[in-house]
């Protein structure tokens, strides 16, 4: 594909927006909010260009833009997108304006800084999903931590400092390993071709030829870094704290997009760079994923804090995604990709809804509520809808992801056992348990807490505008997933084919 | 009607209730009269389904019309080839009849609910839920593949959840809704894995393709055991939905929903979906799978019947009776009495819906009193309700001239035939015992509720016959409990149109070695196909056994039903036995039955509290151990850094400061010597010289 600069334009849209806001007056809060929202909407519009001009049959990266950066090390500014990237970039640009609009009232201090941070965060996330140079990827990966750190640390709850530091350091720990692995990988690969490069596309061809003993360690270093981000059991404990302390917008971005960077990294780096190790470790990682599915669901069940409950449900749902990836079948990886989007939508919606009542009562404890269906009927319907999507009810998006992942995992030659699916499927039951139980305690019954009568008001127009686009996509994916599955079809096939080429002796 | 128009009309029938749902959800608030339109829409669907059923039975009897479309196209998948997921619909005689049954009961329940639910704060929402339920149920009925079956299966579960918990202000209602959803999910997971086994091997969800492959000898993973496993796992879905033991516990609780809902969903249609599923996959059930199904059905029928004997809530009696009758149907599938399983599904749908709506009429009249111990004598106040209730009771008890007699008799004959062919005699014994118990508890219910003297005078005085919108459905349904709609012969359905013309048992596709001998016709597949078209029921052997069993079964069931009814009259009408003494004598048995075999308590003590305890433990583990390690490493890091800070301050920097301090000290000490007085210096010098002299001793 010829050089195209559209992705660069997309990347710089929020950055330029943030710079412009820098020069705006702190007191012009409304103007800043509107401007920030417009910029993020514009970024969404720009991101539609690659979607509509996407060549579905081409499994390679498209819209490539490459500029040599550090000549001596052959490091380039090198971006491009395949279907998986396009899908996740769309998710990012879709979620960002929603979060900005959702925090219209919730964020009441340092609005200028907040809007800037959100836009920079968006740029960082987009960058991660389009970087085709390992060095550039690392830069985006790290850069994105900073705005998130501030979002949790400044606008968060009571224990925001603890949570933000934990988030930052935990992730840094993984990143550090990744940095070491990147250096080792590029050096090791350069021995084979006699040329040092950080070009991911070239590394795809070279990395699998690295000695298996070294590959194994490289795989684990990358895996460890991504597993923290996912987060995979037992590396997940930063997540509940970060989610609970983050402001609603932060939680939504965190669940909606940030966690996907981990699973994206697994697909983008671990599978194609280290196919032999991927196959070797797949059963082990799948077991961890399944532990995460059941463990996350069980722990979610007994949480007393709504946000924490949703946070643990993420651990469970992302376990499905990891299982899908490492089952290494076409259906399961496709399911994992669509499940990333699904989780972003349904968990994003759940966090938005929890945020909406938190804004009114400043209480997240389930026990504080009860019988609110009568007081806020629209909210009750919306929460039911989001819960059902998360539960995986057929006709809504969650079902498609779980369906394809389980379908694929069942047929997986790498896993080669039904037990993975049997155990993973129990997670589907538990998902219904914790969500319906929470729903019952919050929404059903009679109003026992008199304060709620005065505190609660039903969804307002802005909140409806925030939720409806998400709900549209929840139904769309549920009924006609082909629109989205088509995007990732060619790259998923290509990646699996690539893995298979290097591992035929493992697979057959 | 042409094939295309039958398919098209069926799809329209499917979509009509969905339209009703969408309209009511979005515009229900603005147009409170919209429920009338919803009822109208369902009646239109009923008329259309009558047309489809008529068209099928007259023009395409025995054929299967189908229509498929691609839902997800994966394109060319590495190492698999072209893969796509097809969905679609199929109409045959069974489907068409089921369409009619579902639409009829749905329409009658809509009509009935207009009065029964009047004044409810969520009146339009209620009709919306009925719409989404009817849509989902019809989806199950006309699907041609397992995936859609599963999708609509779950949607039915959702609508059931919404309707059971319709009065969510009551904790018991929302608990019951949640329980239903979760218990069903347990079964559904099994079903899902069963479906996956089939899909993994055949790469399709479509019934007909899978059946064809199996009939060609292509078994999943080339093993009959896998086919058995798949059959049993899919049956698990039916265990959940059709409330079979041990997953039956949700159905009695589901009575928390509005009574018309109980009639529609928890008696006539949704709970029959499990049986319908078994009917759909009947041809791939192996001998082992059938035996499992038969045993589960038999146990369910028995357990539920014993519980129904002692319940005092009018709806609970009917609920356990439903579980028991569903057990019969499942048992019928298990013993190979395919046609009678479906026949009983249909007849039961009518008389059980009638019984539930009748109980609703009573509850309505008694101002939400459900305990039969406070009723009595209602016969005089509510004649129409009473007579329709009685007719349905006669039907369910297996009295000749009524539909239940015909279908139940067939099932019992089937169990007898099965016993004679395989030696499993326990199944017919259970079947007949249950028949006696059924007659007993149903007449107990009728007598206590409608006969005798009123036990609650005040409520009795206020009781009145319900309005026509409520009694008309009762009349229609009780009418359909009369034999003439199914066969001209009141004591045998074999020659009637229902079994002879409409429903024919399909030939099993399971290879001979994995199936019961009697399931194989002995003819080759081609001949079987012909035989099927001409309506011949499976093997000659089985037909003969059924034939032999017919009269013994009939006499035995007549005697037992009569006995049950007689005892009920002796106990409750004529009061010839002191019931209190009897209860005291059989106290432990009585308690066991009254407390539903303590199954709920058992589940509570094991699964539920086990799950919650392990969740609590894991939560503790997560907080104190996993996160503890994270925080501990943070603390250790902080400690080490503090330690090195201390080291830095006191040791490293301490050394520096020490040397500074030391030199300072030295300087300070020696400063004393610098007094500036010559005398002192001279003393020092003399002293020093003396010391030197003393030291070196030069002399």
- Using the predicted structure, report yes or no on whether residue B535 has a pLDDT greater than 70: no
Per this entry, what is the length of chain A? 508
Establish if A244 belongs to a structural domain. Answer: no
> Per-residue pLDDT for B417 more than 90?
no
Q: What is residue B521's predicted lDDT score, i.e. its pLDDT?
A: 62
Return the axis-axis angle of helices B338-365 and B314-334, rounded to nearest 10°: 180
SS3 (DSSP) at B466: coil
- B 290-319 residues with CB below 8 A of A? none
| pLDDT given at position B533 | 41
Confidence category of residue B80, pLDDT binned at 50, 70, 90: low
Which residues in chain A have Cβ-Cβ distances shorter than 8 Å to B181?
432, 436
Q: Is B72 on the interface with A (CB under 8 A)?
A: yes
Q: Contact B182/A425, CB-based, under 8 Å?
A: no
- CB nearest B182 (choices: A299, A433, A493): A433
Tens digit of pLDDT for each residue in B420-476?
888 888 898 999 999 999 999 999 999 888 888 888 777 778 888 888 888 888 889
Do the chains contact at B74 and A334, CB–CB below 8 Å?
A: yes
- pLDDT category of residue B527 using cuts at 50, 70 and 90: very low
* Local confidence band at B107 (pLDDT 50, 70, 90 cut-offs): very high
Distance from CA of B179 to the nearest CA of A (A): 9
Rounded mean pLDDT, B163-181? 88
How much is the average pLDDT of B197-208?
A: 88
CA distance B503 to B338: 9
Which residues from A are below 8 Å from B82, CB to CB? Answer: none
The span from the CA of B550 to the CA of B568, in Å, is: 27
Name the residue among A279, A280, A293, A295 with its Cα closest to residue A322.
A293
Average pLDDT, 10 consecutive residues per value, chain A (508 residues): 77 92 87 91 91 86 86 86 92 93 86 91 93 92 90 87 88 89 88 81 85 89 92 88 90 91 93 90 92 92 91 92 92 93 93 91 87 88 92 89 90 85 88 90 85 83 92 92 88 88 64
Q: In this structure, are strands A75-81 and A62-70 parallel, antiparallel, or unpaired? A: antiparallel
In a domain, A382, yes or no: yes
Compute the average pLDDT of residues B551-566: 88
Residues A82-91: b if buried by 16+ CB within 10 A, e if exposed: bbbbbbbbbb
Residue A155 lies in a domain: no
**Of the candidates B349, B576, B318, which has an alpha carbon nearest to the alpha carbon of residue B446?**
B318
In a domain, A499, yes or no: yes
Hey, which residues does B218 pair with through a beta bridge? Answer: none
Number of structural domains found in chain A: 1
> Tokens in use for A493?
């096939």
Q: What pLDDT score does A212 carry?
A: 85
Which residues are within 8 A (CB) of B108 and not within 5 positions of it... i.e. 6 or more apart?
B353, B357, B472, B473, B476, B477
Across the interface, whether the CB atoms of B193 and A238 are under 8 A apart is answered no
Using the predicted structure, report yes or no on whether residue B595 has a pLDDT greater than 90. no
In a domain, A429, yes or no: yes
In degrees rounded to 5, what are phi and psi of residue B177?
-60, -45
Best mutation target, B178, B193, B196, B611, to test chain A (most A CBs within 10 A): B196
**pLDDT on residue B123:** 86
Nearest chain B CA: its distance from A61 CA (Å): 19
Residue contact A444–B612, C-beta within 8 A = no
Q: Which candidate from B73, B189, B618 shows the least CB-CB separation from A426?
A: B189
Give the whole-angstrom CA distance, residue B318 versus residue B431: 18
A373: nearest CB among B80, B154, B168: B168
Q: Is residue A147 part of a domain?
A: no
Query: How much is the pLDDT for A84?
Result: 92
For residue A501, give the H/E element and its range.
helix A482-502
Q: Does A238 touch chain B (CB under 8 A)?
A: yes
- What does the pLDDT read at residue B530? 40
Q: Quick one: pLDDT at residue B79?
A: 65
- Which one, of B349, B184, B344, B348, lies nearest residue B251 by Cα? B184
- Tell me if chain B has a CB within 8 Å of the CB of A497: yes
Identify which of B510, B512, B518 has the alpha carbon closest to the alpha carbon of residue B421. B518
d(CA A238, CA A221): 19
Average pLDDT over residues B209-231: 86
Give the per-residue pLDDT at A336: 94
Q: How far is CA B629 from CA B127, B622, B633, B635, in A?
A: 54, 10, 6, 9
pLDDT reported for residue B532: 45
- Residue A126 in any domain: the answer is no
Domain of A475, in residue numbers: 280-508
CB contact under 8 A, A374 and B73: no
CA nearest to A361, candidates A271, A290, A257, A453? A453
Contacts of B170 (CB under 8 A, 6+ apart): B256
Q: Which residue of B has its CA nearest to A499?
A: B78
Distance from CA of A395 to the nearest CA of B (A): 7
Q: Is residue A422 part of a domain?
A: yes
| CB-CB under 8 Å, B169 with A446 | yes
Q: Cα A62 to the chain's mean position, in Å?
A: 22
Distance CA A18, CA A415 (A): 47
* Averaged confidence pLDDT in chain B: 85
Q: Do B155 and A411 touch (CB under 8 A)?
A: no
Pairing of strands B65-77, B81-91: antiparallel
Helix B314-334 to helix B403-422 angle (10° resolution) is 40
| Per-residue model confidence (pLDDT) at position B699 | 64
CB proximity under 8 Å: A 314-373 to B = 330-331, 334, 371, 373
With CA atoms as reference, the chain A residue closest to B627 would be A237
State the pLDDT at residue B75. 75
- Pairwise CB contact (< 8 Å): A299 & B155: no
Q: Which of B191, B213, B183, B90 is nearest to B145 (CA)?
A: B90
Judging contacts by C-beta atoms under 8 Å, the chain B residues touching residue A411 are: 200
Q: Does B167 touch chain A (CB under 8 A)?
A: no
Contact yes or no for A394 and B614 at CB 8 A? no
| Mean pLDDT score, B356-360 | 90
B567-580 pLDDT tens trace = 888 888 888 877 78
Residues of A in Cβ contact (< 8 Å) with B168: 373, 440, 443-445
Q: What is the mean pLDDT of residues B141-151?
A: 91
Q: Hey, what's the torsion of the CAs at B469, B127, B164, B386, to 10 degrees?
A: 0
Q: B120 CB near a chain A CB, below 8 Å?
A: no
Best B70, B153, B200 residue to mutate vs chain A (most A CBs within 10 Å): B200
Is residue B237 over pLDDT 80? yes
Query: What's the predicted TM-score (pTM) here?
Result: 0.88
Q: Residue B223: pLDDT above 50?
A: yes
Which of A348-362, B293-307, B479-493 shows the lowest mean pLDDT across its residues? B479-493
């Amino acid at each position: 594909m010829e050089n195209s600069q559209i992705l660069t334009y997309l990347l710089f849209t929020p950055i330029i927006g943030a710079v412009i806001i820098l020069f705006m007056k702190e007191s012009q809060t409304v103007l800043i909010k509107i401007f920030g929202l417009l910029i993020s909407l514009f970024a969404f519009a720009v991101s539609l260009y690659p979607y509509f001009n996407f060549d579905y049959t081409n499994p390679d990266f498209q819209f490539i833009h490459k500029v040599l950066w550090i000549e001596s090390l052959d490091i380039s500014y090198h971006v491009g997108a395949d279907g998986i990237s396009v899908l996740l970039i769309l998710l990012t640009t879709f979620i960002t304006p929603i979060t900005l609009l959702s925090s219209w009232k919730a964020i009441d201090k340092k609005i200028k800084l907040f809007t800037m941070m959100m836009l920079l965060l968006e740029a960082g996330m987009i960058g991660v999903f389009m970087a085709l140079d390992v060095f550039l990827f690392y830069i985006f990966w790290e850069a994105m931590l900073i705005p998130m750190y501030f979002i949790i640390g400044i606008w968060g709850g009571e224990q925001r400092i603890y949570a933000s530091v934990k988030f930052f350091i935990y992730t840094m720990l993984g990143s550090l390993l990744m940095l070491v692995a990147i250096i080792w990988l590029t050096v090791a690969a350069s021995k084979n071709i006699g040329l040092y490069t950080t070009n991911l596309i070239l590394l795809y061809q070279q990395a699998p030829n690295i000695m298996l003993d070294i590959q194994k360690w490289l795989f684990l270093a990358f895996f460890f870094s991504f597993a923290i981000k996912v987060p995979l059991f037992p590396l997940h404990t930063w997540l509940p704290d970060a989610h609970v302390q983050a402001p609603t917008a932060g939680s939504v971005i965190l669940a909606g997009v940030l966690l996907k960077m981990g699973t994206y990294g697994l697909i983008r780096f671990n599978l194609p760079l280290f196919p032999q190790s991927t196959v070797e470790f797949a059963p082990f990682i799948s077991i961890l994923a399944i532990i995460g599915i059941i463990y996350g669901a069980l722990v979610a069940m007994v949480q007393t804090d709504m946000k924490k409950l949703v946070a643990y449900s993420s651990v469970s749902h992302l376990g499905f995604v990891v299982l899908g990836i490492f089952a290494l079948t076409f259906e399961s990886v496709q399911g994992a990709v669509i499940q990333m989007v699904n989780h972003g939508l349904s968990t994003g919606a759940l966090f938005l809804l929890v945020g909406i009542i938190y804004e009114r009562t400043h209480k997240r404890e389930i026990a504080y509520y009860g019988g609110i269906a009568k007081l806020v009927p629209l909210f009750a319907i919306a929460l039911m809808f989001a819960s059902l999507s998360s539960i995986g009810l057929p006709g809504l998006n969650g079902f498609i992801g779980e369906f394809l992942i389980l379908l694929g995992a069942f047929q997986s030659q790498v896993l080669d056992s039904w037990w993975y699916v049997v155990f993973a499927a129990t997670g589907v039951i538990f998902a219904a348990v914790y969500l319906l139980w929470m729903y019952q305690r919050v929404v059903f019954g009679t109003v026992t807490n008199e304060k709620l009568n005065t505190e609660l008001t039903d969804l307002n127009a802005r909140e409806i505008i925030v939720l409806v686009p998400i709900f549209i996509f929840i139904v769309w994916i549920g009924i006609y997933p082909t629109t989205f599955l088509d995007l990732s079809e060619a790259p998923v096939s290509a990646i699996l084919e690539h893995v298979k080429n290097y591992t035929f002796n493992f697979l057959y | 009607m042409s094939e295309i128009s039958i398919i098209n009309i069926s799809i329209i029938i499917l979509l009509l209730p969905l339209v009703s749902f969408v309209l009511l959800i979005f515009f229900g608030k603005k147009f409170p009269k919209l429920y009338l339109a919803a009822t109208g829409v369902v009646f239109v669907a009923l008329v259309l389904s009558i047309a489809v059923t008529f068209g099928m039975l007259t023009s395409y009897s025995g054929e299967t019309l189908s229509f498929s479309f691609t839902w997800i196209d994966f394109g060319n998948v590495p190492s698999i080839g072209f893969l796509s997921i097809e969905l679609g619909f199929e109409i045959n005689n069974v489907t068409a009849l089921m369409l009619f049954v579902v639409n009829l009961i749905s329409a009658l329940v809509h009509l009935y609910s207009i009065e029964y639910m009047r004044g409810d704060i969520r009146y339009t929402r209620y009709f919306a839920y009925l719409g989404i339920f009817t849509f989902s149920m019809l989806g199950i009925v006309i699907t041609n593949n397992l995936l859609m079956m599963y999708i609509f299966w779950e949607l039915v579960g959702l609508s059931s959840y919404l309707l059971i918990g319709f009065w969510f202000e009551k904790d018991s209602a929302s608990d019951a809704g949640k329980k239903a959803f979760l218990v069903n999910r347990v079964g559904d997971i099994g079903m899902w894995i069963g479906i996956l086994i089939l899909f993994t091997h055949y790469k399709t969800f479509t019934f007909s393709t899978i059946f064809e492959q199996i009939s060609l000898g292509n078994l999943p993973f080339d093993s009959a055991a896998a086919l058995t496993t798949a059959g049993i796992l899919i049956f698990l879905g039916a265990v959940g939905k059709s409330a079979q033991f041990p997953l039956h516990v949700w159905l009695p609780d589901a009575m928390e929903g509005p009574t018309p809902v109980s009639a529609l969903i928890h008696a006539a249609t949704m709970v029959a979906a499990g049986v319908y599923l078994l009917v759909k996959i009947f041809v791939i059930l192996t001998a082992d799978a059938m035996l499992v199904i038969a045993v589960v059905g038999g146990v369910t029928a028995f357990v539920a019947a014993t519980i129904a004997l002692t319940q005092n809530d009018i709806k609970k009696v009917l609920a356990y009776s439903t579980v028991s009758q569903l057990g019969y149907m499942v048992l019928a599938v298990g013993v190979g009495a395919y046609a009678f399983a479906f026949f009983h599904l249909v007849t039961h749908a009518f008389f059980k819906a009638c019984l539930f709506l009748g109980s609703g009429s009573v509850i309505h009249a008694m101002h939400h009193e459900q305990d039969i111990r406070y009723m009595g004598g209602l016969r005089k106040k509510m004649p129409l309700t009473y007579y329709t209730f009685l007719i349905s009771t006669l039907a369910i008890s297996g009295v000749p001239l009524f539909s239940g007699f015909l279908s139940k008799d067939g099932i019992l004959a089937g169990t007898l035939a099965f016993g004679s062919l395989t030696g499993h005699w326990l199944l017919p014994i259970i079947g007949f015992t249950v028949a006696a118990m059924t007659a007993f508890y149903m007449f107990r219910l009728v007598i206590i509720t409608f006969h005798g003297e009123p036990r609650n005078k005040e409520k009795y005085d206020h009781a009145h016959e319900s309005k026509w919108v409520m009694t008309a459905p009762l009349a229609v349904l009780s009418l359909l409990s009369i034999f003439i709609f199914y066969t001209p012969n009141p004591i045998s359905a074999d020659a009637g149109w229902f079994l002879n013309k409409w429903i024919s048992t399909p030939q099993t596709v399971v290879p001979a070695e994995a199936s019961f001998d009697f399931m194989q016709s002995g003819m080759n597949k081609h001949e079987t196909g012909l035989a099927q078209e001409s309506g011949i029921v499976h093997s000659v052997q089985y037909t003969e056994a059924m034939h032999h069993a017919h009269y013994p079964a009939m006499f035995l069931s007549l005697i037992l039903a009569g006995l049950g009814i007689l005892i009920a009259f002796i106990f409750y009408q004529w009061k010839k036995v002191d019931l209190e003494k009897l209860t005291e004598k059989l106290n432990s048995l009585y308690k066991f039955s009254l407390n539903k075999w303590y199954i709920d308590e058992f589940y509570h003590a094991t699964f539920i509290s086990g799950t919650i305890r392990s969740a609590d433990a894991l939560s503790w583990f997560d907080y104190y151990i996993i996160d503890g390690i994270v925080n501990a490493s943070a603390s250790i890091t902080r400690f080490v850094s503090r330690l090195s800070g201390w080291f830095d301050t006191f040791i490293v920097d301490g050394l520096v400061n020490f040397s500074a301090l030391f030199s300072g000290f030295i300087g300070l000490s020696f400063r004393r010597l610098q007094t500036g007085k010559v005398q002192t210096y001279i003393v020092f010098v003399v002293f020093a010289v003396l010391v030197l002299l003393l030291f070196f001793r030069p002399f």
